[in-house]
Amino acid sequence: MAKLSLFERRRRRVRTALRARAGGKPRLSVHRTGRHIYAQIIDDAAGRTVAAASTLGAKASGANVDAAAEVGKKIAEAAKQAGVTTVVFDRGGFLFHGRVKALADAAREGGLEF
């Protein structure tokens, strides 16, 4: 087996811990790149995406904390429309600070519980 990168090891560790405590709740998955940030709520039991939001198509650049907070607000609204109130937060292999933390805080303010 090939040696995994630090990012991939962290990502697998986070996902394994989530599966242990998810209890059937949907997962709020976050992905960030240098230009954009993406968030989606995934129902792993059904294997489908319930709601999604990103900075794609937005006028402002996705490479800042303000844009990440906007995505957090959008994903909370989309979750409410889909009837989801409680999720587990999947940060993937990303550290919980900066843009990822801003997105999480905005989603909590928007009404999502995690």
Q: Are 52 and 41 spatial neighbours (Cβ–Cβ below 8 Å)?
A: yes
Token couple for 111: 């009404």
Name the residue ranges covered by the structural domains of the chain.
6-15+23-109
**What is the 8-class DSSP label of residue 62?**
S
Q: What is the pLDDT of residues 28-78, one digit of tens each?
A: 999 999 999 999 999 999 999 999 999 998 776 668 999 999 999 999 999
What is the Cα–Cα distance from 25 to 45, expressed in whole angstroms? Answer: 9
pTM: 0.92
- Helix 99-109 vs helix 65-82: angle between axes, to the nearest 10 degrees? 40
Mean pLDDT of the chain: 94
Q: What is the pLDDT of residues 2-22, one digit of tens each?
A: 899 999 999 999 999 998 888
CATH class for the domain made up of 6-15+23-109: alpha beta
